[in-house]
Chains A and B, each alone.
Chain A
């Protein structure tokens, strides 16, 4: 069980003439919090979509949770959780109904899904809101709920695409506590973010520029390598050379 949970070699995605992701290679170990950084348009989301079986790679190879990203997309989907950049729970269902729905489609039995939902509501301290329509929750709560629902089926790895975009600092803090809890219980976290303080929380960080991974190491080593005080400086140094803008 010590082989990496994600292993990617020269993974490439082209849309026509445009190479969104250009031959990236990296490994993610089990139980890591892996920060996947990059400026807007650097190709983070495209890379992540390939890893989740939402998008076919143009070339290269990769394995996620033991399955091939090219041919075994549907098998990968049983073993991962995914929280997209856009809020994507059902607004016209209640908190409880959303939880039961997603637990159910991942094949959990009714008893399991009720027990698991209750446990997660407790952890979120959210039991009082279980019959509230999700659409009427504030954004911070929606994001936290999205996260716990992405992990409701106890996946080996969960992909988070800018999970804290537009969220206030206090909620952001709480959100990262949830991430740590999940990581402590053995879930690998693969997270993209634009907040450099969040990057400091990660076990290892990769930085994408123009579709390529330009740096990959622990935050401490990266700062040493680029002779920088903060991750923010590291990011600026690398992103300054970017040719693609917004």
Chain B
């Protein structure tokens, strides 16, 4: 125990004396949380819409003005024919065409109503698909209001969208827990790995290897500082999320901290294992980046796992951040409890044990 205490004291002295590290630990989470939630948004705005109105009815006027009033759309005036609209679409001047057929209002309550048609430019797939979805929703609302005013029950197949848990459909709220995880990956994974490799590059690890310090003691002394730093970083990030974006966890804090501890313990062990197998900083960085990119793109951090191909979905089972991101989003946005999330906690525990065993086994004092 005294050996561990002495090694830890040395690690903390070195961190404190590093001209860069203490600042990085404080400034990095604040910067990431202040800037990135604004830019990592997939909200689609300014969808340029052209309306080809062949009905010229009260209802078509109403649809047009509701679209003009919606915040997502930018209405393009002066379009009178479908062919003209199509030319604009091909020139990328507009994103979506809505055409309202003749007698649309007249036939609305008849047995065979006319159909509206929507054509979207899907070169920018997100804008095309989300834009036309927004359009469908806006029109559905207008139509159901119109029918309600006429005393007609709105047909049940009209789309009704109700957003639960993230009621404002704010993409930032989805991204904030993800950004916290990226922070932890960068700080706990990379810094602990670099810390070990620096001892190799400076030759100081040799002086440790020739001493009676145990492998586990040495590895623990390398890991513990980064566990504490990780907890500090996530606390700073949660504080910023609350102060700047008004986003506090809907669930309990201790579930978040428990998941964070498991994730940090696992991931810093992963970093140390990679460092043990590398000879220098470049090698460590490249191997870490290789894994981190896979983690970030495949674990549902940025894009939903459910829309990945089947084989990729199966692959995500072996990615630790996947379980952590699910916990973080569920607890932050839905207020899910520990009991409902226990399989995720079990998975994180397994990863923590495996990675730390790897970290201890890959460190060799005698070659």
A107 to B202, CA, bound (A): 24
**Is B212 a contact partner of A74 (Cβ separation < 8 A)?**
yes
Residue on A nearest B214 in the bound complex, by CB? A74
A78 to B7, CA, bound (A): 17
Residue on B nearest A83 in the bound complex, by CB? B207
**Is B202 a contact partner of A53 (Cβ separation < 8 A)?**
no
Listed A/B pairs (23) with beta-carbon separation below 8 Å: A53-B365, A54-B206, A54-B209, A54-B365, A56-B367, A73-B366, A74-B212, A77-B212, A84-B207, A84-B210, A86-B203, A88-B203, A90-B10, A90-B14, A93-B14, A97-B10, A101-B10, A102-B207, A104-B2, A104-B6, A105-B7, A106-B212, A107-B212
**Is B207 a contact partner of A82 (Cβ separation < 8 A)?**
yes
**Is A77 a contact partner of B210 (Cβ separation < 8 A)?**
yes
**Is A92 a contact partner of B14 (Cβ separation < 8 A)?**
yes
**Known: A90-B10, A93-B14, A101-B10. Contact between A54 and B367, CB under 8 A?**
yes
Known: A53-B365, A84-B207. 4 other contacts (CB 8 A): A91-B202, A93-B10, A93-B17, A104-B6
A17 to B270, CA, bound (A): 34
A88 to B207, CA, bound (A): 6
A97 to B12, CA, bound (A): 12
A59 to B6, CA, bound (A): 37
A93 to B15, CA, bound (A): 11
A225 to B332, CA, bound (A): 83
A84 to B202, CA, bound (A): 12
Query: For residue A203, which residues in chain B have a CB less than 8 angstroms away from its CB?
Result: none
**Known: A92-B14, A93-B10. Contact between A105 and B210, CB under 8 A?**
no
In the A-B complex, list the 10 residue pairs whose CB atoms are closest, starting with the nearest. A104-B6, A86-B203, A82-B210, A88-B203, A88-B207, A78-B212, A77-B212, A73-B366, A88-B204, A92-B17
A104 to B212, CA, bound (A): 11
CB distance from A18 to the nearest CB of B (A): 15
Interface flag for A33 (CB, 8 Å): no
- Interface residues on chain A, size class: 20 to 34
How many residue pairs link A and B with beta carbons under 8 A? The number is 74
**Is B210 a contact partner of A53 (Cβ separation < 8 A)?**
yes
Interface flag for A55 (CB, 8 Å): yes
**Is A104 a contact partner of B203 (Cβ separation < 8 A)?**
no
Query: For residue B202, which residues in chain A have a CB less than 8 angstroms away from its CB?
Result: 88, 91
Interface flag for B34 (CB, 8 Å): no
Interface flag for A20 (CB, 8 Å): no
**Is B206 a contact partner of A84 (Cβ separation < 8 A)?**
yes
CB distance from A26 to the nearest CB of B (A): 21
Tell me if B's interface is mostly helix, strand, loop or mixed: helix
A86 to B201, CA, bound (A): 11
Interface flag for B3 (CB, 8 Å): yes
Residue on B nearest A98 in the bound complex, by CB? B10
Size of interface on B: residues with Cβ below 8 Å to A: 24
CB distance from B4 to the nearest CB of A (A): 10
Interface flag for A52 (CB, 8 Å): yes
Interface flag for A213 (CB, 8 Å): no
Query: For residue B204, which residues in chain A have a CB less than 8 angstroms away from its CB?
Result: 88-90
Query: For residue A91, which residues in chain B have a CB less than 8 angstroms away from its CB?
Result: 202
Interface flag for B168 (CB, 8 Å): no
**Is B203 a contact partner of A105 (Cβ separation < 8 A)?**
no
Choose one: A54, A87, A102, A107; the contact of B203 (CB below 8 Å): A87
Choose one: A55, A56, A100, A107; the contact of B3 (CB below 8 Å): A107
Interface flag for B150 (CB, 8 Å): no
CB distance from A60 to the nearest CB of B (A): 16
Interface flag for A80 (CB, 8 Å): yes
A56 to B364, CA, bound (A): 11
**Is A89 a contact partner of B366 (Cβ separation < 8 A)?**
no
**Is A102 a contact partner of B211 (Cβ separation < 8 A)?**
yes
**Is A56 a contact partner of B211 (Cβ separation < 8 A)?**
no
Residue on B nearest A91 in the bound complex, by CB? B202
**Is A88 a contact partner of B206 (Cβ separation < 8 A)?**
yes
**Is A54 a contact partner of B366 (Cβ separation < 8 A)?**
yes
Residue on B nearest A90 in the bound complex, by CB? B204
Query: For residue A78, which residues in chain B have a CB less than 8 angstroms away from its CB?
Result: 212
Interface flag for B18 (CB, 8 Å): yes
Interface flag for B213 (CB, 8 Å): yes
Q: Which of B1-48 contact A (CB under 8 A)?
A: 2-3, 6-7, 9-10, 13-14, 17-18
CB distance from A12 to the nearest CB of B (A): 15
**Is B211 a contact partner of A106 (Cβ separation < 8 A)?**
yes
**Is B203 a contact partner of A101 (Cβ separation < 8 A)?**
no
Query: For residue A87, which residues in chain B have a CB less than 8 angstroms away from its CB?
Result: 203
Query: For residue B210, which residues in chain A have a CB less than 8 angstroms away from its CB?
Result: 52-54, 77, 80, 82, 84
CB distance from A74 to the nearest CB of B (A): 6
Query: For residue A52, which residues in chain B have a CB less than 8 angstroms away from its CB?
Result: 210
Query: For residue B9, which residues in chain A have a CB less than 8 angstroms away from its CB?
Result: 101
A78 to B214, CA, bound (A): 11
CB distance from A92 to the nearest CB of B (A): 5
**Known: A90-B10, A93-B10. Contact between A105 and B206, CB under 8 A?**
no
CB distance from A56 to the nearest CB of B (A): 6
CB distance from A189 to the nearest CB of B (A): 16
